[in-house]
Amino acid sequence: MSDAPQQEIPKTHVSPLQFVKGVGPKRAEALAQAGILTPRDLLMYIPRSYIDRSSIGNIRTLHRRMLNPDVFDKESRETIEALRSEITIVGAFTKIREHQFGKGRKMLIATFSDGSGADANVIFFNFIEYFRRVVKQEEVFAVSGKPDLDKFGKVTFTHPDIERIDPEDEELYKAGKIIPKYTLTQPMKNANIGMRGFRNLVELVIDQEKPNINEVLPASVLHEYNFPNRSEAIEALHFPESAEHLRSAKNRMKFEELFFFELLLALRQQGVKVRDKAPVIPPPSPTARKLLDALPFELTQAQKRVINEIVADMKTDKPMNRLLQGDVGSGKTIVALLTMLMSADNGFQSLLLAPTEILAEQHYQNIKKLLGDMDVNVVQVVGGQKKRARNAVLDEIGSGRAQIIIGTHALFGGSSKKDVENLWLQYNKVGLIVIDEQHRFGVMQRAKLRELGVRSHESQTPLAPHVLVMSATPIPRTLSMTLYGDLDVSVINELPKNRKPIITKVVFESGLQKQYDFIRSEIQKGRQAYIVYPLVEESEKLELKAATLALEELQHEVFPEFKLGLLHGQMLWYEKEDAMKAFLNKEYQILVATTVVEVGIDVPNASVMLIQNAERFGLAQLHQLRGRVGRGSEQSYCLLATKDHFAFHMKKKEAEQQEKLSAIIRLRTMEETTDGFKIAEVDLRLRGPGDVMGTRQSGVPDFTFADLVNDELAIEQAKKAAFGIVASDPHLRKPEHTATRTEFLRQYKSDQNFFDVA
Ligand code: ADP
Ligand code: MG
């Protein structure tokens, strides 16, 4: 937050803050540069942290804790949180010296004592002259940052936040007050706005503004959760009277943030449900029954439960909007197929959208195989299809003879706007859309496909297809409640019984020969293996070179007696497909691959996967990759190769240390569990929600107060409240919802069309 956006301020603009006592044009300008233009902005400039007795560490205890880093035996979550958390120590600098290192470089080392019996080093590599002036021995300072241990085992803070505590604040602090700390930008500092000055300003403004802070949450909600009202909460954020006071203010603001976002999701969901009617697709379905009877296995309990949930949706005229989550290999395809057969039996087409040509092809082949000689018309739409074949398929689709239509992006009818206008793909009564590996598609794409489905009906009132999206990337509940808040969620939390859990081991590079021997012995038993390399190179050419080099080395130096195939991202889709098919047909014993193999085809005979430089992969990716093995009845293995010295030890550079630490947590997690939901949970803690889902397409705002990792309860409550209100008052027209409606429109301007313009 320290580098706040430097926005252009129009010359003619006069910030209203300029007229607040003690501000004036120069300070107003500095505040404006940090986006603080109005009293309201100022009040929403929330303290970055607080100094109170509870956040203050004592160097001696800190030291003891850090000397004992057997953190991995505890929950990894604790470790991660400990590393993230900032600690404040309060005391004085007792010794300040400069130290030469490297080629004429200097550092400033200041010893800091807090009277606990141990002291810490505070180190500055940059701005040495500046800090030399700031760090005065006779004054009291608060030092905040992430502590480290140096090679002598001393607690060290490198470039922490340091702040002089003025005598007055020291009194406050001693009296047990909680003191807010704001992020001060450089322009503010230049304009002589210090921490104290900023606080005084907030204090002035808050008295004046408090009557203008309107409540935006419905009274029923405030009452139910016993929240302070908005103006009280905002005041408490700046000037809490106690830790409890602050906590309840934060909880309220957190709830508010989540509530308006859930309101958006509730209105979106309702928009679909109220506006459109869906084709009614009731059971029983003779074709689905026939398939069930012909299956060589019985459905798991979880599959049956999920099918019942889907049936309950589809037999109504409200469009289904359901997310089906299930780990790799949990059997989602058969669920989708049974659902599509129900749709077919009721005279409707189904679309099955896959992210890659290979997956589309695999679905097509699988489904044809499962259906055997049953009378179901299944077609495939792929890019680059020959014109004659394409026309035949289009005819099947347009005439309505095609019942199940499988494809990739080609299902959208074309990529350019013009293509869509002169739609060459004319569906005929689409009843159901299934989207596989949905995280590879955005919300907009889902909407677009649904729109094409709507247009495929000739009825007077629009008929919107039911939508089932499937994901093999398990999403922790906190995320699915927000990210997919407009979807109902079904989970297959059980693998078919015949599976043997994959044995996963972290192995080290010096021991690779042994691992190669193991792979050899597996191949001699008739199995096959994957050897996966990370994409280390930025450029495509280099990636190709790296993969090719790896292949040659393995072929000549390690496995001269076997045939090795290559699969990498620079191949065209049909080349990839050829490589995988050749592997499936046992033309190769080993497939050397980059991560593209994570959405490969099923090769049940492959029982070993060796992942090189495994520390470079993300958890979700490791989990997806591992899902390539363990698909047959044989015991399967996943070997995660990493550097020999990849053990935990405190290193100088914090970033490096964190990266290393989280790499180890990733590898350990893989060893410990095959449960995709547990893995997703750890992943979320390590990376945060934005990275896990890809912030750009996720559509989840950056929350100030809410934390999608830890606020499960608050999310649940906000969701319940928002959905409840929309159910009882779909357009927020009741007088008690007026303020809520106004605030919603302020936050989500572009979503106005959720309301009737009445
Ligand atoms: P995913 O959920 O990863 O898409 P698939 O649908 O591809 O999984 O299923 C993986 C394999 O498991 C397929 O070969 C499928 O036929 C098989 N399968 C599905 N359900 C069961 C079951 N209940 N018992 C045994 N095998 C099953
Ligand atoms: Mg699948």
**Residue among 330, 371, 584 to mutate when testing ligand 1 (max atoms within 8 A of CB):** 330
392-445 pLDDT, tens per residue?
A: 888 999 999 999 999 988 888 765 444 444 446 789 999 999 999 766 676 677
CA 672 to centroid of ligand 2, rounded, Å: 24
CA 159 to centroid of ligand 1, rounded, Å: 54
- Residue 587 clears pLDDT 70, i.e. is over it: yes
pLDDT of residue 174: 63
pLDDT of residue 757: 34
679-735 pLDDT, tens per residue?
A: 888 887 787 766 655 544 456 677 888 887 778 889 889 999 999 999 999 889 999
**361-386 core/surface letters (b: 16 or more CB in 10 A; e: else):** bbbbebbeebbeeeebebbbbbeebe
CA 627 to centroid of ligand 2, rounded, Å: 10
Residue closest via CA to ligand 1's atom 5 equals 331
Highest mean pLDDT among 165-174, 427-436, 537-546, 657-666: 427-436
CA 405 to centroid of ligand 2, rounded, Å: 16
Identify the nearest ligand to the CA of 359 by its number: 2
Ligand 1 pocket residue status of 628, Cβ below 6 Å: no
CA 331 to centroid of ligand 2, rounded, Å: 7
CA 300 to centroid of ligand 1, rounded, Å: 10
Query: What is the pLDDT confidence band of residue 228, given thresholds at 50, 70 and 90?
Result: very high
Region 387-391: mean pLDDT is: 82
Region 504-525: mean pLDDT is: 94
The overall average pLDDT reported for the chain is 83
Ligand 1 pocket residue status of 333, Cβ below 6 Å: yes
Sheet strands (E) in 272-403: 321-326, 349-353, 378-381
| Lowest mean pLDDT, pick from 202-211, 487-496, 687-696 | 687-696
Compute the radius of gyration of the chain from its Cα atoms.
30
Identify the nearest ligand to the CA of 436 by its number: 2
Ligand 1 pocket residue status of 331, Cβ below 6 Å: yes
Identify the nearest ligand to the CA of 366 by its number: 1
Ligand 1 pocket residue status of 181, Cβ below 6 Å: no
Query: What is the pLDDT confidence band of residue 543, given thresholds at 50, 70 and 90?
Result: low
Q: Does domain 503-673 have CATH number 3.40.50.300?
A: yes
CA distance 262 to 269: 10
Ligand 1 pocket residue status of 332, Cβ below 6 Å: yes
Query: What is the pLDDT confidence band of residue 134, given thresholds at 50, 70 and 90?
Result: confident
* Higher-scoring residue by pLDDT: 460, 679: 679
CA 499 to centroid of ligand 2, rounded, Å: 16
Region 68-97: mean pLDDT is: 61
Region 107-120: mean pLDDT is: 90
Each domain of the chain, given as residue ranges in start order, spans 49-181, 286-315+330-471, 503-673
Query: What is the pLDDT confidence band of residue 750, given thresholds at 50, 70 and 90?
Result: low
Highest mean pLDDT among 196-210, 466-480, 529-543: 196-210
Contacts of 334 (CB under 8 A, 6+ apart): 295, 299, 303, 370
Residue closest via CA to ligand 1's atom 4 equals 332
**Residue among 297, 439, 491, 499 to mutate when testing ligand 1 (max atoms within 8 A of CB):** 297
pLDDT of residue 597: 81
Region 202-226: mean pLDDT is: 92
CA distance 530 to 49: 49
CA 372 to centroid of ligand 1, rounded, Å: 17
173-188 pLDDT, tens per residue?
A: 666 678 888 888 888 8
H/E element, 209: helix 195-209
pLDDT of residue 419: 47
| Lowest mean pLDDT, pick from 306-320, 353-367, 548-562 | 353-367
Identify the nearest ligand to the CA of 337 by its number: 1
Ligand 1 pocket residue status of 328, Cβ below 6 Å: yes
CA distance 597 to 567: 7
Q: In what order do the strands lie in the sheet with 637-642?
A: 503-508, 637-642, 606-611, 528-532, 590-593, 564-567
CA 609 to centroid of ligand 2, rounded, Å: 19
Highest mean pLDDT among 58-67, 108-117, 520-529, 648-657: 520-529
CA 623 to centroid of ligand 1, rounded, Å: 17
| Lowest mean pLDDT, pick from 254-268, 355-369, 438-452 | 438-452
Residue closest via CA to ligand 1's atom 1 equals 329
* Higher-scoring residue by pLDDT: 439, 619: 619
Query: What is the pLDDT confidence band of residue 244, given thresholds at 50, 70 and 90?
Result: confident
Going by C-alpha positions, the residue among 655, 681, 756, 649 that lies closest to residue 150 is 649
CA distance 365 to 371: 10
* Higher-scoring residue by pLDDT: 539, 738: 738
The conformational region for residue 429 under phi > 0 = left, psi -120 to 50 = alpha, else beta, is left
DSSP sequence for 618-647: -HHHHHHHHTTSS-SSS--EEEEEE-TT--
Cis peptide before 284 (omega within 30 of 0): yes
Residue closest via CA to ligand 1's atom 24 equals 496
Instruction: Name the 3-class secondary structure at 152.
Output: coil
pLDDT of residue 422: 44
| Lowest mean pLDDT, pick from 264-278, 289-303, 339-353, 362-376 | 264-278
Ligand 1 pocket residue status of 300, Cβ below 6 Å: yes
Region 119-145: mean pLDDT is: 85
DSSP 615: G
Name the burial class of residue 702, with classes exposed (0-12), middle (13-18) and buried (19+) by CB atoms within 10 angstroms of its CB: exposed
Query: What is the pLDDT confidence band of residue 756, given thresholds at 50, 70 and 90?
Result: very low
Q: Which atom of ligand 1 is nearest to the CA of 330?
A: 2
Q: Which CATH number fits domain 286-315+330-471: 3.10.180.10, 3.40.50.2300, 3.40.50.300, 3.30.70.20?
A: 3.40.50.300
pLDDT of residue 12: 44
Residue closest via CA to ligand 1's atom 9 equals 331
* Higher-scoring residue by pLDDT: 143, 421: 143
Q: Residue 110's CB: how many other CB atoms inside 10 A?
A: 22
CA dist list (Å): 414 to 408, 409, 424, 495, 510: 11, 8, 8, 37, 51
Residue closest via CA to ligand 1's atom 15 equals 331
Domain 49-181: CATH superfamily, name plus number? Nucleic acid-binding proteins (2.40.50.140)
Bridge pairing between strands 528-532 and 637-642: unpaired
Query: What is the pLDDT confidence band of residue 655, given thresholds at 50, 70 and 90?
Result: low
CA distance 266 to 220: 18
37-56 pLDDT, tens per residue?
A: 888 889 999 998 887 665 66
Contacts of 683 (CB under 8 A, 6+ apart): 618, 619, 620, 692
Percent of the chain whose pLDDT exceeds 90 = 37
pLDDT of residue 53: 64
Query: What is the pLDDT confidence band of residue 304, given thresholds at 50, 70 and 90?
Result: very high
- Residue 522 clears pLDDT 90, i.e. is over it: yes
49-181 and 503-673 have identical folds:
no
Contacts of 636 (CB under 8 A, 6+ apart): 500, 502, 503, 606, 607, 608, 609, 629, 630
Locate 354 and state its tokens.
């896959």
Going by C-alpha positions, the residue among 310, 300, 319, 544 that lies closest to residue 454 is 319
Highest mean pLDDT among 17-26, 446-455, 665-674: 665-674
CA distance 107 to 553: 46
- Residue 83 clears pLDDT 60, i.e. is over it: no
